[in-house]
Amino acid sequence: MTPEEAFQLGKRLPNLTALRMVQPRSDRLWGLDSMICTAIDIVKTLSFDKAKEVYVSSAYGFVLPPPGTPSPIPAIINDMQPFPVAEELHIRSAFGGALGPVSAEDRIAVLEALGEEREVDSVAVGDKEEPVSLTQGGAFDGWRSQGLPSLRSVDMYLLVPHDLEDAVAAELIRDGLSTILTAGLRGLRRVELWLEGEADDSILTAIRQLLPNGTEIDDFTINTVGTLVEASRRY
């Protein structure tokens, strides 16, 4: 399918509630810039009024770019129409789009697109199949934005790199969790950090040393059970 054919298809689906576009493996088929522009043209014509869940994820077989690679400009998220009835946001990868890397800024932009008046039951950043890198994913960035909806729970699946020192990983987790808990997120009741990858006993021990079970940050109590670091609001 050519970019023009894809654009015409998009115009025929004004009430589409989900859209997935996959970049070809060969740039000879579509150039990346051409594909981004085509996708933006399609997205501008679509309504997401009936979308209950929003997913941002890597396409099957997508090859991660080098660390620090900037997002395509303009970011497609900025051109999407709002999600007025969506209740859940799932972000499955730090580089979560078939159209290029999804930065922390883009991740927060998706949340802001839901609208300040929305009440969102849960936001998932990563999942067991595609956890977000603890060191490169920017999972803890942007949560102080004033434009976010009310969030009841935030669930993160964090990949701990194998070469990361235990003490450093524990500090990143403590500081990141503290950032979310003190960000003033409206409606927040629970934050769960699921540790994937090299989350062995030594890292868990380092986490418990910095965050002993029962540690209190703001209005939350923190406990570590297995590879789950959980913060629950006390009242």
Using alpha carbons, select from 75, 76, 95 the residue that is nearest to residue 19: 76
Q: Which amino acid is at 81?
A: Q
Q: At what angle do helices 201-210 and 166-181 cross, to 10 degrees?
A: 50
| CB-CB contact of 230 with 216 (8 Å) | no
What is the Cα–Cα distance from 185 to 195, expressed in whole angstroms?
23
pLDDT < 70 positions in the chain: 1-40, 43, 55-80, 87-104
SS3 content of the chain, % helix, strand, coil (to 5): 25, 25, 50
User: Pick from 174, 234, 163: which is nearest to 204 by CA?
Assistant: 174
Q: What local confidence, expressed as pLDDT, does residue 89 receive?
A: 63
State the pLDDT at residue 233. Answer: 96
Contact 192, 131 (CB under 8 A): no
pLDDT score for 165 = 92
pLDDT of residue 53: 75
Query: Could you tell me the residue ranges of all domains in the chain?
Result: 3-233
- The pLDDT value recorded for residue 25 is 43
